């Protein structure tokens, strides 16, 4: 399958991860690839941002291993308020996180931490590509 060639242009990605240093890193990585990024280190706040800013957010990057609300729970709630928004899940944790997320079948992308800015941009493009 050829890689989507869409330019980041004015696309905005919401990053939800409970680790503030990683949020800043992901923001810098996305911006280096031409995306705009907004971050939340709190799942509830991130969900609220997704709901309130639905016209501004083109994709969401979510960490699978967060507390107290994990990535699976965030994904399910995102799907209730933003069913068509592309979501890329990420994790630096064990393989069971990946297996659990894949069981949901509700997202087209997964990234294993650590990853490069190019890999991140590619995952966002694939998740955003029309089916």
pLDDT at position 116 is: 95
In 3D space, the residue among 130, 3, 119 whose CA is nearest the CA of residue 61 turns out to be 119
pLDDT at position 53 is: 80
pLDDT digits over 2-11, tens only? 444 455 567 9
9: left (phi over 0), alpha (psi -120 to 50) or beta: left
Structural domain for 82, as ranges:
12-128
pLDDT at position 97 is: 58
Domain count, the chain: 1
Residue ranges, the chain, pLDDT below 70: 1-9, 94-108, 131
pLDDT at position 2 is: 43
pLDDT at position 1 is: 41
Q: Do residues 124 and 61 touch, judged by C-beta distance below 8 A?
A: yes
Give a yes or no: residue 87 inside a domain: yes
pLDDT at position 29 is: 97
Give a yes or no: residue 84 inside a domain: yes
Give a yes or no: residue 7 inside a domain: no
Under 8 Å CB-to-CB from 97, ≥6 apart: which residues? 64, 65, 71, 91
Give a yes or no: residue 5 inside a domain: no
pLDDT at position 81 is: 82
Give a yes or no: residue 6 inside a domain: no
Q: DSSP assignment, residue 111? A: E
pLDDT at position 9 is: 60
Give a yes or no: residue 90 inside a domain: yes
Q: Kindly report the CATH number assigned to the domain that includes residue 93.
A: 3.40.50.2300
pLDDT at position 104 is: 57
């Amino acid at each position: 399958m050829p890689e989507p060639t869409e330019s980041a242009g004015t696309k905005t990605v919401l990053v939800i991860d409970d680790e503030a240093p990683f949020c800043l890193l992901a923001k810098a990585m996305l911006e280096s690839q031409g995306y705009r990024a907004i971050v939340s280190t709190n799942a509830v706040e991130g969900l609220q941002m997704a709901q309130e800013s639905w016209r501004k957010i083109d994709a969401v990057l979510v960490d699978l291993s967060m507390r107290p609300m994990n990535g699976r729970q965030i994904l399910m709630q995102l799907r209730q308020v933003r069913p068509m928004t592309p979501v890329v899940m990420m994790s630096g944790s064990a393989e069971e996180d990946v297996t659990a997320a894949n069981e949901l079948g509700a997202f087209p992308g997964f990234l294993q931490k650590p990853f490069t800015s190019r890999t991140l941009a590619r995952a966002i493009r694939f998740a955003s590509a029309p089916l």
